[in-house]
Amino acid sequence: MEQGRFREAETVAQGVMSLERLPMVMHLPALTVLGTVRVRLGEPGSLALLQQALQEGLATGELQRIVPVRLALAEAAWLDGDDSAAHEQLNALVGMDLDNFRTWDFGELAVWWQRCGIAKPLPAPKAQIPLARSAELRGNTLAAAREWDRLGLPYEAALALMQVRGADAGPALARAVTTFESLEARPAAALARKQAQRLGVAGQLPKTRRGPYGAARRHPLGLTWHEQQVLALIAAGMSNKEAAQRLSRSPRTIEHQVSAVLGKFNAANRMEVLLRLRGEPWLL
């Protein structure tokens, strides 16, 4: 999720939650990731998942089960333009024992506090806030974005770019929109475009592009529906000829689709695909 591989994160989280007799220490993080990823993708039902995660987290009384969920709910409210809901979540966090917050969590809280325009100052942290957060808090949002890029976290980099103002706002928002759309983060992309309109720099943004087909968007490796059918037959041990007969396609078409599947799995042969499916069955 942090790497911006939202479809893969969604699939893995669903795979974890489908396991039987799943302990809370595995269930709650998977539920939180699933809800957060779906918020960022703009999928229906995401808030219900996060509300469920919050209720389960509150029952534990443990910071690590509660803080990520409230931060995700604050982000969801901010994306939706619901300031009061965002403030509610952030104020609930401030009411907790901030001295025991991890520095990354405190830094994220401080950044959302600033993004949501809450005037009341936060208490000073006991430990130094990480650079990616502290740079934005100081107003150096371009430096924050560079640090997120260095860490390989594109969604966070794009969120930081949305905070740029002045002469650099147009190019920064253009980069943010490009990143959000490449990650399928539709709510954030839409919000960045609205912000560009308000700042009068919408003409500097890239044109909206039609995304890949729905089935390819939903599969974590971007397999089309036909490629997913071929993958299922590869997993069943069928040859190209047998797959062609089963799917009523030409052998040449099946050959191309098998090659496409191997390419998207970054696999040299069918055996490498089968070995990966054994470890990651949700890819089916």
What is the full DSSP assignment across 136-188? HHTT-HHHHHHHHHHHT-HHHHHHHHTT--GGGHHHHHHHHHHHHHHTT-HHH
Q: How far apart are the first and last CA of the chain?
A: 20
> In the chain, how many H helices and how many E strands?
16, 0
Q: In this structure, are 39 and 135 located in the same domain?
A: no
Radius of gyration of the chain from its Cα atoms, rounded to whole angstroms: 22
Structure tokens at 163: 């905070």
- The tens digit of pLDDT for each residue in 77-106 reads 999 999 999 999 999 999 999 999 999 999
For residues 263 and 161, membership in a common domain is answered with: no
Question: pLDDT tens, 34-85?
Answer: 999 999 999 999 999 999 999 999 999 999 999 999 999 999 999 999 999 9
**Are 162 and 227 found together in one domain?**
no
Is there a domain that residue 45 lies in?
Answer: yes
Residue 232 and residue 183 share a domain:
no
What does the pLDDT read at residue 242? 94
Check whether residue 183 and residue 146 sit in a common domain: yes
Same domain, 230 and 207: no
In a domain, 68, yes or no: yes
> Is 250 inside any structural domain?
yes
Same domain, yes or no: 72 and 100: yes
Q: What is the CATH number of the domain that holds 229?
A: 1.10.10.10
Positions in the chain whose pLDDT score sits under 70:
209-217
- Predicted pLDDT of residue 206: 87
* Distance between CA atoms of residues 160 and 49, nearest Å: 26
Evaluate whether residue 125 is within a structural domain.
no
Per-residue pLDDT at 36: 98
Which domain range does residue 224 map to? 214-283
Domain end marker among 158, 184, 211 = 211
What does the pLDDT read at residue 212?
Answer: 55
On whether both 9 and 94 belong to a single domain, the answer is yes
Please give the pLDDT value at position 26: 84
Q: Are residues 13 and 102 in the same domain?
A: yes
Instruction: Output the pLDDT for position 211.
Output: 57
Per-residue CA distances from 17 to 31, 39, 46, 227 (Å): 7, 18, 15, 25
pLDDT in the model for residue 19:
83
Residue 118 belongs to a domain: no
CA atoms 225, 227, 230, 234: torsion sign = negative
Same domain, 81 and 172: no
Whether 116 maps to a domain, the answer reads no
Same structural domain for residues 1 and 103? yes
The whole-model pTM stands at 0.78
Tell me, yes or no, whether 227 and 200 share the same domain: no
Q: Is residue 252 part of a domain?
A: yes
**Count of structural domains within the chain:** 3
Q: Measured between alpha carbons, how far is 86 from 112 in angstroms, rounded to an integer?
A: 9
Look at residues 59, 75, 107 and tell me which one is the last residue of a structural domain. Answer: 107
- 120 is a domain residue: no
Beta carbons within 10 angstroms of residue 65's beta carbon: 20
- pLDDT at position 214, please? 55
Where is the domain boundary, 211, 246, 265?
211
